[in-house]
C-alpha cells in the first residue's frame, strides 16, 4: 500500500505530492484541476512498464480513434502526457509504500534510433526499425531497485508495437472510468474468481444496498455472452445490466475490489449512479471490502453528499482509514491539501466548501 505519491511533468502537474495516504483516498477539486489525471498517473505507475496503458487512458477520455501518419498519431498520443507539452523533460511518477519501498516510473520521448531497451535476458537491443521519428520509453524501478525498460514505437507497417512485451505487474490494479461502460464479461469473470477464492464474502448482501429485492446472483451464458444475472422476484432472472446503471456500476466496483487483492483500485466519479440516501451504506461496504482484500482505493468526486457520506461512514465504523485530498490550482501550480478526520469534521460542521 502506498503511503505517499509524487508526480512530475505529467499532464497539468509540474510537481504534485500526496502525503500521507490512507487505505481509502477521495480526491476532490474544481473542473480541470487534474483529478482524473492523478488517477491516470497512479494507473501508469502500478502498470509498471506496460505502455499499452497509455492508449487505454486516452480511450478513457474518449480518444479511441487516431488517424494520420505515425508522427501525427505519436504527437496526439504521447505529447499531451507531458506538462505544457514539454517533451524534453521526463515524466516521473513515484510511490513509497508503507514498507518504505520506492516504486518509480520514468517516461520520456527519445529518437527511435536511440531507443535502447534491456530485456529480461540482459541483452541490450537497439530499436531502429520504427517508422516514426520518436519512441516513448519507460523505465521502472521495482521493489528491489532493479530497473526495467520498454519502449512503444511504430514499426515499418505503421503499427504501434511495444518492445519487449511487458511482464505482468507485480500487484493488480483496476481503473474505472467515469464515462466507461460496465465491463460485463470482466465482471462475470471476476465473480467467478470471487466464488472460488472467497466463500465468506456475501456479495448479494452488499448489492442489496442498491437493490433490496435482490436474492441471488449467477453467471449465465446467453446471447449477450457471459454476464451476471440477478433474481429480484419477477419470476425469472434478469441481467444486472438491466436492473439499473447504479447496480451495474456498484457491482463492478465491488468485484474489482474483491479481485485486486493487495492491489489498487482507481475510480473516477465514484458517486455516479448512486442515490444519495444509500451513499453512506455504500461507503461502509467499500471500506469493509478494501480491508478484507487488502486493497488501496483512490476515487474522485464532485458530490458534496458523497464526501459527507464517506466521512460519516468511516466515523461510525470507528476505523478511520480514510483521507480527503483537495486539489487546488494557483497559477501554473497544482497542489494537494489533505483533510484528516478532525479537520474534515470541523470543515463539514462549519459548512466550508471542501470540494
- Residue bearing cell 500487484: 171
Percent share of the chain, pLDDT over 90: 64
- Pick the more confident residue, 171 or 208: 208
How many other β-carbons are positioned within 10 Å of the β-carbon of residue 58? 18
pLDDT at 132: 63
Given CA atoms 252, 253, 254, 260 in this order, what sign does their dihedral have? positive
Distance CA 318, CA 125 (A): 55
Question: 49: pLDDT confidence band, cut at 50, 70 and 90?
Answer: confident
Distance CA 165, CA 160 (A): 12
Distance CA 43, CA 59 (A): 14
pLDDT at 175: 95
Closest CA to 297 of 334, 268, 327, 336: 268
Q: What residue spans define the domains of the chain?
A: 48-163, 173-349
pLDDT higher than 60, residue 129: no
CATH number of 173-349: 3.40.50.300
**What is the per-residue pLDDT across 66-113, written as a single tens digit (0 to 9) for each?**
666 777 777 788 999 999 999 999 999 999 998 888 999 999 999 876
Amino acid at each position: 500500500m502506498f503511503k505517499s505519491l509524487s508526480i512530475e511533468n505529467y499532464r497539468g502537474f509540474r510537481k504534485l505530492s500526496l502525503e500521507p495516504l490512507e487505505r481509502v483516498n477521495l480526491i476532490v477539486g474544481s473542473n480541470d484541476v487534474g483529478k482524473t489525471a492523478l488517477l491516470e498517473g497512479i494507473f501508469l505507475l502500478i502498470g509498471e512498464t506496460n505502455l499499452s496503458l497509455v492508449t487505454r487512458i486516452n480511450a478513457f477520455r474518449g480518444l479511441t480513434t487516431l488517424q494520420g501518419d505515425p508522427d501525427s498519431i505519436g504527437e496526439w498520443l504521447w505529447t499531451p502526457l507531458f506538462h505544457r507539452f514539454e517533451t524534453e523533460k521526463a515524466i516521473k511518477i513515484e510511490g513509497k509504500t508503507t514498507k518504505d519501498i520506492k516504486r518509480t516510473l520514468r517516461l520520456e520521448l527519445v529518437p527511435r534510433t536511440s531507443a535502447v531497451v534491456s530485456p529480461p535476458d540482459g541483452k541490450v537491443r537497439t530499436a531502429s526499425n520504427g517508422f516514426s521519428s520518436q519512441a516513448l520509453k519507460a523505465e521502472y524501478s521495482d521493489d528491489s531497485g532493479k530497473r526495467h525498460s520498454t519502449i512503444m514505437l511504430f514499426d515499418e507497417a505503421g503499427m504501434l508495437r511495444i518492445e519487449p512485451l511487458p511482464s505482468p505487474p507485480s500487484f493488480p490494479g483496476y481503473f474505472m472510468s467515469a464515462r466507461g461502460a460496465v465491463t460485463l464479461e470482466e465482471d462475470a469473470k471476476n465473480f467467478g474468481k470471487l466464488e472460488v477464492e472467497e466463500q465468506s464474502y456475501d456479495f448479494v448482501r452488499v448489492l442489496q444496498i442498491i437493490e433490496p429485492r435482490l436474492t441471488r446472483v449467477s453467471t449465465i451464458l446467453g446471447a449477450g455472452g457471459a454476464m451476471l444475472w440477478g433474481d429480484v422476484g419477477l419470476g425469472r432472472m434478469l441481467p444486472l445490466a438491466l436492473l439499473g446503471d447504479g447496480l451495474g456500476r456498484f457491482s463492478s466496483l465491488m468485484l474489482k475490489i474483491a479481485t485486486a487483492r493487495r492491489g489498487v483500485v482507481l475510480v473516477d466519479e465514484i458517486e455516479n449512479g448512486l442515490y444519495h440516501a444509500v451513499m453512506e451504506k455504500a461507503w461502509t461496504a467499500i471500506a469493509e471490502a478494501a480491508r478484507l482484500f487488502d486493497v488501496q482505493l483512490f476515487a474522485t468526486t464532485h458530490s458534496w453528499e458523497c464526501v459527507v457520506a464517506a466521512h460519516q461512514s468511516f466515523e461510525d465504523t470507528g476505523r478511520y482509514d480514510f483521507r480527503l485530498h483537495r486539489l487546488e490550482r494557483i497559477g501554473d501550480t497544482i497542489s494537494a491539501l489533505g483533510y484528516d478526520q478532525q479537520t474534515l469534521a470541523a470543515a463539514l460542521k462549519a459548512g466550508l466548501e471542501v470540494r
